[in-house]
Amino acid sequence: MISEKMYELGAKSSVIREIFEYGKKRKAEIGADNVYDYSLGNPSVPAPESVNEAIRELTLNMNSCDLHGYTSAVGDNGTRQAIADDLNKRFGTSFGMHNFYMTCGAAASLCITFRALAEKDDEIIIFAPYFPEYKVFISSQGATPVEVKCDADTLQIDLDRFEKAITKNTKAVVVNSPNNPSGVVLSEDTVKGMCEILKRKQAEYGKPIFIISDEPYRELVYDGVKVPFLTKYYDNTIVCYSYSKSLSLPGDRIGYILVPDEVADFELIYKAVCGAGRSLGYVCAPSMMQFVIRKCVGQTGDISVYKHNRDLLVNAFNEYGFKVAKPDGAFYLFMKSPEEDAVAFCEKAKKYELLLVPSDSFGFPGYVRLSYCVSTAMIEKSLPSFKALSEEYNLI
Ligand code: PLP
């Protein structure tokens, strides 16, 4: 009668969403200020004022039918050229508008790319800890996700494990740096090592193996850390980007897919991306947001707030005896659970009104994720609760 698979996806919400819903209920009971919700990656920094200015300017000066009408299926030419120019300036690349397909954010970019590439029996490698939706997106588009655990100490890619996981069926590997949930930025050594392996394996199997670089956090890095731009290291790289985090526009659903000329069979792949967009109903990304991006390309919200939040939490956790590495990017902390069962730890944290996400659904049990894209005031108010929680575990 209906698709059993789709029913299951709809009926079973994600762990993160469940915690978020619990938080909403709890806030209604005891007041929003008394619940410390670290569950969701919803940016707390406002979009830069230039975004509002662009919207005002567009609604005042642009013909309404043009502003709100369809653009071409792949996106507005001027927007795609503006994005190409910005990346070329920043990374010394030579992209043109023909390399871009505008989308409704990274989720759409990923689904389209998986659909465009995946054939029966194809495997797509994901590195744990991973963004849980990867498994949903990959399997829904007809491929099989294959998990490879990162190095437990550094949370960088374990290159030996990676090499062993590649088979003749490997179509692509998903890379997410800065990472959700760990906040880790892949080092240049790791990137070079991964690309060497991929080049070797492409030669061995006589076929392309793609990197799908999921980059919604590309600009969210602190202390001058550089994020290696993967198209510079490996020809068969397809970039899935979103403005959800860099411009704090998650609800406006805008992003793109970048297929560089260097990708093997560029013409075919780009056409397959267009076909996948068409088949999934992802044509013509929201027009007004495309025009806003044309004006605001290359900008970010005030990310110094995230750095401040990160430092506040990391310093406090060090003092309280929680084990956490200082992440270089995104807005997540990945903390070791003081007991093996991170789900049980999160339940105990709830007693102190702390809402944390156990790492099981990220494919890397024994940790918890905290989204620190929250108000600094909430973090400051929550610290005594973390201290009390650490005392319950005798960490100090
Ligand atoms: N990829 C990662 C790693 C994410 O963390 C997210 C959202 O949190 C997405 C993709 C989806 O982003 P978007 O809101 O642009 O669809």
Categorize the per-residue pLDDT at 13 as very low, low, confident or very high, splitting at 50, 70 and 90: confident
Q: 108 CA distance to ligand 1 centroid (A)?
A: 9
Task: Note the CATH number of domain 4-47+302-392.
Answer: 3.90.1150.10
Helix (H) or strand (E) holding 174: strand 170-175
User: Would you say residue 139 has pLDDT above 90?
Assistant: yes
CB 245 within 8 A of CB 372: no
Determine whether the shortest distance from the Cβ of 255 to ligand 1 is under 6 A: yes
Q: Which of 373, 354, 330, 337 is nearest to 19 (CA)?
A: 354
pLDDT value, residue 281? 97
Q: Is the pLDDT of residue 215 over 90?
A: yes
pLDDT of residue 12: 86
CA 235 to ligand 1 center in whole angstroms: 24
Residues 258-297: pLDDT tens digits? 999 999 999 999 999 999 999 999 999 999 999 999 999 9
Q: Is the pTM of this model over 0.95?
A: yes
Least confident of 12-21, 169-178, 280-289, 364-373: 12-21
- State what percent of residues in the chain have pLDDT above 70: 100
Average of per-residue pLDDT across 371-391: 97
Can you tell me the distance from the alpha carbon of 26 to that of 383, in angstroms, rounded to the nearest whole number? Answer: 19
pLDDT at position 201 is 98
The per-residue pLDDT for 173 is 98
Selection from 29, 81, 41, 38 nearest residue 313 by Cα:
38
Distance CA 297, CA 83 (A): 6
User: In angstroms, rounded to a whole number, what is the distance separating the alpha carbons of residues 87 and 90?
Assistant: 5
Residue whose entry in the numeric block shows the structure tokens 């297929």: 259
- C-alpha–C-alpha distance, residues 57 and 45, integer Å: 22
Task: Tell me the CA distances in angstroms from 115 to 14, 57, 122, 265, one per residue in order.
Answer: 22, 37, 11, 16
244 lines ligand 1 (CB under 6 A): yes
Ligand 1 centre distance from Cα of residue 240 (Å):
10
Angle between helices 105-117 and 133-140 (to 10 degrees): 40
Determine whether 30 is exposed, middle or buried from the number of CB atoms within 10 Å of its CB (0-12, 13-18, 19+): exposed
Instruction: Give 297-355 pLDDT, tens digit per residue.
Output: 999 999 999 999 999 999 999 999 999 989 999 999 999 999 999 999 999 999 999 99
Mutate to test the pocket of ligand 1, among 133, 213, 215 (most ligand atoms within 8 A of CB): 133
Q: How far is the CA of 216 from the centre of ligand 1 (A)?
A: 6
Dump pLDDT digits (tens) for 65-103.
Answer: 999 999 999 999 999 999 999 999 999 999 999 999 999
The residue whose CB lies within 8 Å of the most ligand 1 atoms, and thus the one to mutate among 177, 180, 373, is 180
- Ligand 1 contact via 129 beta carbon (within 6 Å): no
Distance 138 CA to ligand 1 centre (A): 14
Number of residues that this document lists for the chain: 396
For residue 10, CA distances in Å to 6, 139, 228, 277, 363 come to 6, 15, 36, 22, 21
Tell me yes or no: is domain 49-296 CATH 3.40.640.10.
Answer: yes
Give the atom of ligand 1 at the shortest distance from the alpha carbon of 243: 15
Q: What is the mean pLDDT of the chain?
A: 97
Give the pLDDT confidence score for residue 396 in this predicted structure.
82
Average pLDDT of the segment spanning 178-186: 98
pLDDT score, position 387? 97
The pLDDT of residue 82: 98
Q: Which pLDDT value is given to residue 208? A: 98
Region 127-146: mean pLDDT is 97
Q: Which residues pair with 256 in a beta bridge?
A: 102, 241
Please, which contacts does 378-382 make with residues 24 or more away whose CB atoms are closer than 8 Å? 378/33, 378/36, 378/37, 379/309, 379/312, 379/313, 380/312, 381/33, 381/36, 382/36, 382/353, 382/354
Q: What is the pLDDT of residues 26-60, one digit of tens each?
A: 999 999 999 999 999 999 999 999 999 999 999 99
Give the residue from 1, 86, 45 showing the smallest Cα distance to 310: 45
The residues spanned by each domain of the chain are 4-47+302-392, 49-296
Domains 4-47+302-392 and 49-296 share a fold: no
Report the interhelical angle of 287-296 vs 77-91 (nearest 10°).
Answer: 30
Mutate to test the pocket of ligand 1, among 131, 134, 239 (most ligand atoms within 8 A of CB): 131
Q: Does the bond joining 250 to the residue before it have cis omega, within 30 degrees of 0?
A: no
Share of the chain above pLDDT 90, in %: 96
